[in-house]
Amino acid sequence: MASRPRVLILSASDQEPLDVANALQRQLDYKCDPTVWTQDVFQPGRSAFESFTNAVDNHAYGIFVLTPDDTLHKGDEVFLVPRMNVVFELGYFAAKHGIHRAFLLTPRGDKRSYLSDLAGIQPVEFNLERFRKGEQVPALGAAVAMIQSAIAADRLEYPKEVQNRRNLLAMEDNQTILAEERYCLAAKLKSGHNIRLTLTGIPRESGAELNSGWLMGLRPTAVAWDNSPGIVGNSQSFWATGPSEAFTDFRVSRECRELTIEIHENDGVVDGQQRHPDSIKRFHVQDKS
């Protein structure tokens, strides 16, 4: 089962955009793990920017509520515009995760003249007039459906079983697996998709090193190694690009007592940048001998 995507919702601090952000969270909560910026994102003892960048690293998707909260004078014209710090946060998030993972939520009919640099990016619109009348669910309904659809299209598919082998990537976190049992790591990648896995084994004996026998070779050729096959500090990483059906046989040796798999999806992972994984799966290894 795929993990629920983590979504960061950012808005201005005024009451109306906060109300929009909170209402959006309630509707997304059925299929995502959404967090509004007011909910323990900014930690005591840290600068606001440090807390913000940490939150960006820990969320795969961002929604930016661009309600008309300020005024902008342009010649003889006056425009209602969103808070500029939200626009800055949008740019930072897009630079980290890609603009396809940053959703611009704007009132329907908004000219967005203040975002001329983003004119080619399709926003997600909601009905601000209905929202102000207290009809929050229908006012945001179409926007929520569009965001959920876009996130679903960005996610990878993990089959439960391939070639009669259970797929560890499709299993729930914190499960028990058997040593020397044949499993697999499998993902279906569409065109433009990519995935990076980092596997870390914890030996049963403190200070021991795991040999390369606990991880079998990879196929097909669409799957490439970051470095030579084998264990480096009890960890091993590899990535794959779509379109392909990435697959490898997999087993864990008796010397390993715990296995952790970090999964990065469609997040610029092939370029080697270190970002918070989309999901982490931990397995307890049971020796059946």
The enclosing domain of 210 has a CATH number of 2.60.40
Please compute the mean of the pLDDT values over residues 72-78 and round it to a whole number.
77
Whether 257 maps to a domain, the answer reads yes
Residues 53 and 178 both lie in one domain:
no
Whether 223 maps to a domain, the answer reads yes
* 179 or 140, greater pLDDT: 140
Residues 188 and 258 both lie in one domain:
yes
Q: Which residues contact 261 (CB under 8 A, 6 or more apart)?
A: 168, 169, 185, 197, 198, 199, 280, 281, 282, 283
Whether 233 maps to a domain, the answer reads yes
Q: Report residue 166's pLDDT band, with 50, 70 and 90 as the boundaries.
A: very high
C-alpha to C-alpha distance for 104 and 158, rounded to whole angstroms: 29
pLDDT value of position 127: 94
* 48 or 237, greater pLDDT: 48
Q: What digits encode the pLDDT tens for the residues 10-23?
A: 998 889 999 999 99
C-alpha to C-alpha distance for 35 and 248, rounded to whole angstroms: 35
Pairing relationship of beta strands 235-241 and 223-225 according to DSSP bridges: antiparallel
Whether 1 maps to a domain, the answer reads no
Q: What digits encode the pLDDT tens for the residues 192-234?
A: 788 888 888 888 877 666 554 444 444 433 444 344 344 445 7
Tell me the C-alpha to C-alpha distance, in Å, between residue 236 and each of 91, 169, 199, 210, 269.
Answer: 33, 15, 5, 11, 15
Taking the CB of residue 111, how many other CB atoms lie within 10 A of it? 9
> Rounded to two decimals, what is the model's pTM?
0.71
pLDDT value of position 287: 86
Residues 121 and 186 both lie in one domain:
no
Q: Per mean pLDDT, which range of 43-57, 92-106, 240-254, 265-279 is the poorest?
A: 265-279
Q: What digits encode the pLDDT tens for the residues 26-35?
A: 999 988 999 9
Which residue, chain included where needed, has tokens 């046989």? 249
Number of domains in the chain: 2
Residues 190 and 110 both lie in one domain:
no
| pLDDT over 50 at 279, yes or no | yes
**Which of 127, 154, 181 corresponds to the end of one domain?**
154
Whether 200 maps to a domain, the answer reads yes
Residues 234 and 257 both lie in one domain:
yes
pLDDT value of position 130: 95
Which residue, chain included where needed, has tokens 């910026």? 37
Which residue, chain included where needed, has tokens 């009905």? 127
Residues 11 and 84 both lie in one domain:
yes
Whether 93 maps to a domain, the answer reads yes
**Which of 94, 129, 154 corresponds to the end of one domain?**
154
Residues 279 and 256 both lie in one domain:
yes
What's the CATH code of the domain at 146? 3.40.50.10140
C-alpha to C-alpha distance for 58 and 66, rounded to whole angstroms: 22
Q: Which domain holds residue 114?
A: 6-154
What does the block give as tokens for 4? 């629920």
Residues 34 and 141 both lie in one domain:
yes
**Which of 154, 171, 202 corresponds to the end of one domain?**
154
Which of 176, 179, 195, 198 has its CA nearest to residue 187?
195
Residues 143 and 48 both lie in one domain:
yes
